[in-house]
Structure 1
């Protein structure tokens, strides 16, 4: 796991000092070493977190004759198998790294190599033979990749802060990007919240030609069975539960094996107390003779804590277990740093405890952890999928649907089943026959209420939800309602929030790599072909996963209702007194300077939170508060003044190949 950056210049040699500043901004992603390559047209930068072939995997890396160069962030888990295929085709390897597999795979298969990779990646390939720069991102968007293009050059990097090392990059919010965050909780690639800065969409690659022409290509997107195909439907219907569970188990075990064993450094595992991490930890524990090292997040507030289930699982597996107990004031203290790493507005504080958990992992001496992310999206685990079933039923039988609501949200204090009138309003809202996004309309509507606080300049006329629904594949009309909801989750919340704000950014902020067996492409393909009624039996979420691992997971965890990961929001900033930084970034003058929210409404919201320590405000006001605070922090750190984000200096060795200075690769160690 690493940080990548670079420059494609169309008017003279790229600036070596600029690419080094970009690399410095990514030091936290790769503290073990760095390097850059430069020629007349391109500079590629790299900061390394050494995990595979720790001695030989120095980047940027080239082929035998120096015509293909790569800077790579991530892991290609099937690199051993691909290397064997490439050797059979005559390729010679100098290292044992997955990076070199990318180089030779590009030579052999061109853009077809991305279909062959089983991994998580953001990478840049410079092909001197065609003067083409290629930027690629993995199927689900596990690893980030941003870029900005001007008239004379294109910059790319793992994080926005590296792009801002160039003073010519704009320092402005994009109102359309903010609108998307206040609808979906995240932007939709290629958009970001920063004007003039884009991101490579998941499952895509860009080809930037010699003249700067940029073409985007999609090599993967989520797909699901066509229910109107009678033959295909009959084949799937014939798949029994036992057969499907066995196939699922086999796929998960192999996906976990690749992600646990393909590492030259120790690998730990997260235990959340839920089903997904219980499965992954149980599986990977079988691939090590030494006790597995597990890590958990706990809360001082019992409402959010799952410690009893974590302890149960750790004892069952006999792991070396560590946890971090998070208090409300811990969240407030760390929140500015969390937003600097997230680089996007947040509507919840949930990423903050995840940052503290990855810090625990790093302090324990680990660089890699296996986690359960992706199981809910791929195998049907979210409440919103259950809601989709209820809403579909509501269009046919409102009375039966109203009764079904009582089975939802057993974990919630103020559940809709305690307020039938609210439930009818929530689930019966925007029920339009044939609407492919029917499952998500209530959630998007609820979040969009936050836009009422925006200034006039930040309001946009576009309909983000309608635009997204219009981009759904034409064949989605033939999908099951669960499949359509899964597609929407995989397009919005998964890449933009779960894998980014709560995932990559919080892990790499502490130089830790996360690996996600449930996002193995073979597993995703299998799950997409399983009948929806097996994934979710009635309203029993992840039914097939429970069946597949009933012998490894304790009954208490199998039977417990799905409890989404949550953290204290408003109370974190007000229950024990406000942190020192809060008043400065949310003062009326600071809010006016940012120009995003109306100062008088912000003042009213802050006063409301101060009255009771933020403990009694509702869900919408909690989201409003976190949105305001995070936007103000982003403005202060990224956009105000020079917009320069402070970078930590690196003392790690640097490998330099600069064709404009010397034909030899050199090793430099900063003083």
Structure 2
């Protein structure tokens, strides 16, 4: 796992000192080695986290005559088969790394070689004979890549802050992107916070030359609808997941696993335990507040699978201390609260191993989230006469005090969440209501942009683009398919990459093997979610690896009690940050009124307040660095 960056300048040559500055910005992605390459109009820079062939796998890597050069971030799990084929065809290899197969496979097949890669990756490849630069990102969007573009220059990087050092005009704030941020808590691809910068989309291939730029989607999950019986589906799914786990054990360094005590991480740990001779090293984070702490479940799983278990406890002070370190690295606002505990567990994990497997992706594929159950049940709520819903149920429930700090308050919060997200008539509108970070009341404090319109437009576009085969399936299947293209790469996987790579840790996600993804999306909804159960087929497939207590427990998110901390330990911090700067996006007085409502316990605005806090912190940081005026 690494960091990559570089430039393409049509009428000049990239400067070495600029490439060095860009590269230094992401040294946390690769503390083991670095390299820079310049050739005419192109400059490439690389930071290396050594996982395979640590001794001789430094980058950039070239073909036999030096006409093809690559810098690479990620892992290619089928590189051994590709290498054998290329060796038989006469290609000479000088390292044992997976990276080197890229230059030789490109020689054989040109830009279309990306179709053959099985892995997680982002890379830049320079063809000096044809004078073209190829950029590509893996099909599921596990590894990030951003691209800045002006009339005569391009710059790319694994992370936005590297582009701040490229001396390019980033175009200033993209207000449309910030509207999406206040809709979702993150900015969906291809947009970023800056007008001249875009995210390379999952499964996208880009060619840059003097003729311009050509962007092409080379892969979307292929969905062939199936209707096997539940036992047949479970058997096949188990085979696919076990194969995916086995492939991701490829490394020349020690591996471990994240363990939350939930279904997904337990399955990954169990599969690893069956494949490895030594106990799996497992890592979890707990809270010193019982309502949010799941470390007990992780301990039960660790005992069940006889792992070498490591546990840390996170407090409000830990968050206060970590927030600047994490948020200062963000190139754009990103408000998933789980970034903080993910960062903490990644830090603890990196003290012991360089690579960890995780259970991310299974919730999207097998309907694990609460929002999927809400969508499944919402048809019954919509069956009530609209006048009863609008004038009786909703006013009564919304008038109750909500707080996630108590059992009763949390029940009220969930009830409000359900009724306020179940009434929309169209699937994209309901989908937006399930994803949005705030209700209509809170969103009124956002000025000069329209998060609701931006969010609904994004969801309408995403639903229109999903596989035609899914249009006749129930709404939940369509929502899951859109989530694999939207919230999975742009929220979940972004969080995982940031939290882990800030700590120089590589995270691998077996559930996002393309074969697992495509099979899961092809299965009927009732194999995943019923009135009484969720992740049904996944549990059936791995019931022998799941302790009974884990099978029976309810789904819990890997979250932090930020709403309670805003009422107490982080209250002053929130107020001072909100007052610190003004970009004309938020009404400060209205925002502080929402904060008072939250502190008084009248409404739970924790998600929106965290979104505001992250945005304000980011804006202040950008102004201090001179990125924003």
Q: TM-score, normalised by structure 1?
A: 0.85
1:575 to partner: Cα distance? 1.6
What residue is the counterpart of 1:214 in the other structure? 213
Q: Write the distance in 2 (CA, Å) between the matches of 1:382 and 1:222.
A: 21
Using the TM superposition, name which of 71-80 and 186-195 deviates more. 186-195
1:244 equivalenced with 2:233 (yes/no): yes
Q: Write the distance in 2 (CA, Å) between the matches of 1:423 and 1:6.
A: 45
What residue is the counterpart of 1:504 in the other structure? 497
What residue is the counterpart of 2:49 in the other structure? 49
1:196 to partner: Cα distance? 1.9
Q: Write the distance in 2 (CA, Å) between the matches of 1:347 and 1:95.
A: 41
1:292 to partner: Cα distance? 1.3
Q: Is the 8 A contact 1:534 1:544 kept in 2?
A: yes
Q: Is the 8 A contact 1:591 1:599 kept in 2?
A: no
Which of 364, 368, 373 is the aligned partner of 1:377? 364
Q: Write the distance in 2 (CA, Å) between the matches of 1:439 and 1:414.
A: 27
What residue is the counterpart of 2:606 in the other structure? 622
What is the aligned length? 609
1:628 to partner: Cα distance? 1.8
Q: CA separation of 1:445/1:576 partners in 2, compared to 1, >3 Å: closer, same or farther?
A: closer
1:586 equivalenced with 2:586 (yes/no): no
1:190 to partner: Cα distance? 0.8
Q: Write the distance in 2 (CA, Å) between the matches of 1:120 and 1:561.
A: 31
1:415 to partner: Cα distance? 8.3
Q: Write the distance in 2 (CA, Å) between the matches of 1:54 and 1:178.
A: 41
Which of 561, 572, 577 is the aligned partner of 1:568? 561
Give the secondary-structure state (helix, strand or coil) at the position aligned to 2:147.
strand
Q: After the TM superposition, which residues 174-323 of structure 1 pair with which residues of structure 2 at under 5 Å, given as runs?
A: 174-211=174-211, 213-225=212-224, 236-237=226-227, 239-260=228-249, 262-323=250-311
Q: Write the distance in 1 (CA, Å) between the matches of 2:127 and 2:75.
A: 21
What residue is the counterpart of 1:430 in the other structure? 424
1:431 to partner: Cα distance? 1.6
Q: CA separation of 1:604/1:488 partners in 2, compared to 1, >3 Å: closer, same or farther?
A: same
Q: Write the distance in 2 (CA, Å) between the matches of 1:74 and 1:329.
A: 34
1:445 to partner: Cα distance? 8.1
Q: CA separation of 1:384/1:425 partners in 2, compared to 1, >3 Å: closer, same or farther?
A: closer
What residue is the counterpart of 1:650 in the other structure? none
CA-to-aligned-CA distance 1:549-604 (integer Å, 9 cap, x gap): 1111101101112222221113334523657x6565332xx333x33212222343
1:441 to partner: Cα distance? 3.4
1:398 to partner: Cα distance? 8.4
Q: Is the 8 A contact 1:4 1:47 kept in 2?
A: yes
Q: After the TM superposition, which residues 64-75 of structure 1 pair with which residues of structure 2 at under 5 Å, given as runs?
A: 64-75=64-75
Q: Is the 8 A contact 2:19 2:43 kept in 1?
A: yes
Using the TM superposition, name which of 355-364 and 2-11 deviates more. 355-364
Instruction: Structure 2: state its 5+ residue gaps.
Output: 390-403
What residue is the counterpart of 2:87 in the other structure? 87
Q: Write the distance in 1 (CA, Å) between the matches of 2:480 and 2:76.
A: 25
What residue is the counterpart of 2:163 in the other structure? 163
CA-to-aligned-CA distance 1:5-40 (integer Å, 9 cap, x gap): 000011111111101100000100000000011011
Q: Is the 8 A contact 1:14 1:43 kept in 2?
A: yes
CA-to-aligned-CA distance 1:168-220 (integer Å, 9 cap, x gap): 43373321111112223322211012232111011111111223x11211122
Give the secondary-structure state (helix, strand or coil) at the position aligned to 1:564.
coil
Q: Write the distance in 2 (CA, Å) between the matches of 1:568 and 1:171.
A: 36
Q: After the TM superposition, which residues 452-471 of structure 1 pair with which residues of structure 2 at under 5 Å, given as runs?
A: 452-456=444-448, 458-459=449-450, 463-471=454-462
1:436 to partner: Cα distance? 5.1
Q: Write the distance in 2 (CA, Å) between the matches of 1:397 and 1:4.
A: 54
Q: Write the distance in 1 (CA, Å) between the matches of 2:587 and 2:186.
A: 21
Give the secondary-structure state (helix, strand or coil) at the position aligned to 2:266.
helix
1:162 to partner: Cα distance? 0.3
1:222 to partner: Cα distance? 3.4
Using the TM superposition, name which of 436-445 and 47-56 deviates more. 436-445
1:438 to partner: Cα distance? 3.8
Give the secondary-structure state (helix, strand or coil) at the position aligned to 2:206.
strand
Give the secondary-structure state (helix, strand or coil) at the position aligned to 2:507.
strand
What residue is the counterpart of 1:388 in the other structure? 375
Q: Is the 8 A contact 2:183 2:454 kept in 1?
A: no
Q: CA separation of 1:320/1:465 partners in 2, compared to 1, >3 Å: closer, same or farther?
A: same
1:596 equivalenced with 2:585 (yes/no): yes
Q: Is the 8 A contact 2:173 2:194 kept in 1?
A: yes
What residue is the counterpart of 1:657 in the other structure? none
Q: Which has the higher contact order (CA 8 A, sep 6+)?
A: 1
1:115 to partner: Cα distance? 2.0
What residue is the counterpart of 1:552 in the other structure? 545
Q: Write the distance in 2 (CA, Å) between the matches of 1:169 and 1:423.
A: 42
Q: Is the 8 A contact 1:591 1:598 kept in 2?
A: no
Q: After the TM superposition, which residues 113-128 of structure 1 pair with which residues of structure 2 at under 5 Å, given as runs?
A: 113-128=113-128
Give the secondary-structure state (helix, strand or coil) at the position aligned to 1:341.
coil
Q: TM-score, normalised by structure 2?
A: 0.90
